[in-house]
Amino acid sequence: MKFYSLLSALALVTASAAAQNTEQGYILTTAGDTLRGNVLFVGPNQQTLRLRRPNQAPVDFSATQASSYGDATGALWESHFIGPNGTARFLAPLVRGPVSLYSGKNEAGSQRFFLQPADSAYVVEVPPDRARLAYLRLLPGCADFDFAFSKFEQQYPYTYSGMTRLVKDYNACRYPQKTTKLVATPGGTRTQFGLKGGVHATRFNFPGISLIDPQKIQGSYEAGAFVLVRTKTRFAVQIEAMYIAFRGEYGPSKYYNGNAVYTTTRTLAIRYAQLQVPLLFRYTMGSGSLSPYINAGPLYGFNFNQKSEDIYQDSNKPSPTRVPVKISGSNSIGGAAGVGLLIRQSSLPMLNVEARFDYRIDSSGLYDSTPTHTSLRLDVGVLF
């Protein structure tokens, strides 16, 4: 049942990811020019936009040189002056209306919300410890808003959901004839769907079967799909659903029976499959055509299709005796870490090459309460 639930969840995630648009972004400069290409935030506090275009050197833009950054869905980051005499900074629009809401980092590097009053050319930072004082000054004229009591902060907490509700409710009260719109995908996250496959070598560690060492490592394969949620920084989150076929072998071990009338050779053949769902946090170095990255995170595995066997071949018998055994438990938990290379190609899907190390602990097993296994993997994938 768990296996089919995981497959259903994967289908929903991949279907939504496949519908996403992954076109290149654009930068609108303060001179009114529109420049298109791959855009990445670099530098401290995400305050420098780097534009990469084919066969051209990268170009950096500060918040005083670029008025906005976006893609086909609209503006994702905009340049705004903080206060009437402040400096310009890149902020992410959250709510557009008579009063607008933005988020971003202030000059100290702290994440903050910013309000833009009606007909104002600048935004004002809302400090979390003095939020009600800012509301009294910036959100006047609505009888439904009572800033005198702390319950107001409980109704509209200093969070994304609380602040967006605050601005939407204020605009509905003060400017009912005007439109207020919640901006989609705040922060500029983009989702891509990918397919991948590869090979691995897995070492199993079952202390209870040391009597039939040595162990043979056998190669096998994996295949599946993944979703990559990318930000306009170097960080991304990747979730996978992979079918993995595990193969391994202990033995053969020979011993004598009775009065050495015949010998028995014993081999333990490990054969089972796993639906593995890791959650990986990725950091990419560079934004050119070749971009190396590292990733790491926890993983969960649902084990099924158990076909492992204890194989006994007596020297006085023509065929072996095969005894089915359960090597692993129904669930595995562990972690994964790896390095990879993202290859960007003009007008083609991105290629993804990755080498990874997986470590898993089974919840139960035949030979030991907590058997473990480690894998070295080499995967190749495409991102659409």
- Does the bond joining 44 to the residue before it have cis omega, within 30 degrees of 0? no
- Residue 349 is given by DSSP the state P
Q: What is the mean pLDDT of residues 279-294?
A: 84
- Does the bond joining 292 to the residue before it have cis omega, within 30 degrees of 0? no
Q: Is residue 338 part of a domain?
A: yes
Q: What is the mean pLDDT of residues 60-69?
A: 90
Let me know whether 295 and 267 are in one domain: yes
* Per-residue confidence band for 230, with pLDDT thresholds at 50, 70 and 90: confident
* Per-residue confidence band for 346, with pLDDT thresholds at 50, 70 and 90: low
Q: Is residue 34 part of a domain?
A: yes
Token pair, residue 93, equals 């629009």
Range of the structural domain that residue 210 is part of: 190-383
Q: Bigger pLDDT: 175 or 286?
A: 175
Using CA of residue 233, residue 383, residue 341, residue 204, what is the dihedral sign?
A: positive
Token pair, residue 31, equals 């001179």
pLDDT of residue 57: 86
Whether 78 shows a pLDDT value over 50: the answer reads yes
Whether 244 shows a pLDDT value over 90: the answer reads yes
CB 57 within 8 A of CB 225: no
CB 284 within 8 A of CB 302: no
* Per-residue confidence band for 32, with pLDDT thresholds at 50, 70 and 90: confident
Whether 344 shows a pLDDT value over 70: the answer reads yes
CB count in 10 Å sphere of residue 219: 10
Let me know whether 154 and 207 are in one domain: no
Q: ∠39-44-47 over CA atoms, to 5°?
A: 50
Phi/psi at 308 (5° precision) = -70, 150
Q: What is the SS3 assignment for 242?
A: strand
Q: Is residue 3 part of a domain?
A: no
Asked which of 130, 157, 182 is the last residue of a domain, the reply is 182
Beta bridge partners of 82: 123
Whether 29 shows a pLDDT value over 80: the answer reads yes
pLDDT of residue 324: 85
pLDDT of residue 10: 44
Q: Total structural domains in the chain?
A: 2
Beta bridge partners of 343: 290, 351
- Compute the mean pLDDT over every residue in the chain, rounded to the nearest whole number: 82
- Does the bond joining 252 to the residue before it have cis omega, within 30 degrees of 0? yes
Q: Is residue 17 part of a domain?
A: no
Whether 319 shows a pLDDT value over 70: the answer reads yes
Whether 71 shows a pLDDT value over 80: the answer reads no
Beta bridge partners of 356: 338, 377
Q: Bigger pLDDT: 164 or 285?
A: 164
Q: What is the SS3 assignment for 167?
A: helix
Token pair, residue 91, equals 């902020």
Let me know whether 162 and 240 are in one domain: no
Burial class (CB in 10 A: 0-12, 13-18, 19+), 378: middle
Q: What is the mean pLDDT of residues 190-201?
A: 90
Nearest to 82 by CA among 45, 120, 41, 27: 120
Let me know whether 270 and 350 are in one domain: yes
Beta bridge partners of 227: 193, 239
CB count in 10 Å sphere of residue 229: 16
Asked which of 127, 150, 182 is the last residue of a domain, the reply is 182
Strands (DSSP E) found in 206-234: 215-217, 219-230
**In angstroms, how far is CA 71 from the centroid of its own chain?**
21
Let me know whether 213 and 252 are in one domain: yes
CB 299 within 8 A of CB 275: no
pLDDT of residue 73: 67
Let me know whether 167 and 221 are in one domain: no
Evaluate if pTM is beyond 0.95: no
Burial class (CB in 10 A: 0-12, 13-18, 19+), 227: buried
pLDDT of residue 85: 85
Give the highest mean pLDDT range of 346-355, 358-367, 371-380: 371-380
Length of the chain: 384
Q: Bigger pLDDT: 253 or 99?
A: 99
CB 316 within 8 A of CB 297: no
Q: What is the pLDDT of residues 92-109, one digit of tens each?
A: 899 999 999 999 888 888
Whether 184 shows a pLDDT value over 80: the answer reads no
Let me know whether 57 and 199 are in one domain: no
Amino acid making up residue 301: G
Let me know whether 205 and 302 are in one domain: yes
Q: What is the mean pLDDT of residues 138-156?
A: 83
The helix (H) or strand (E) run that includes residue 360 is strand 350-362
Burial class (CB in 10 A: 0-12, 13-18, 19+), 228: buried
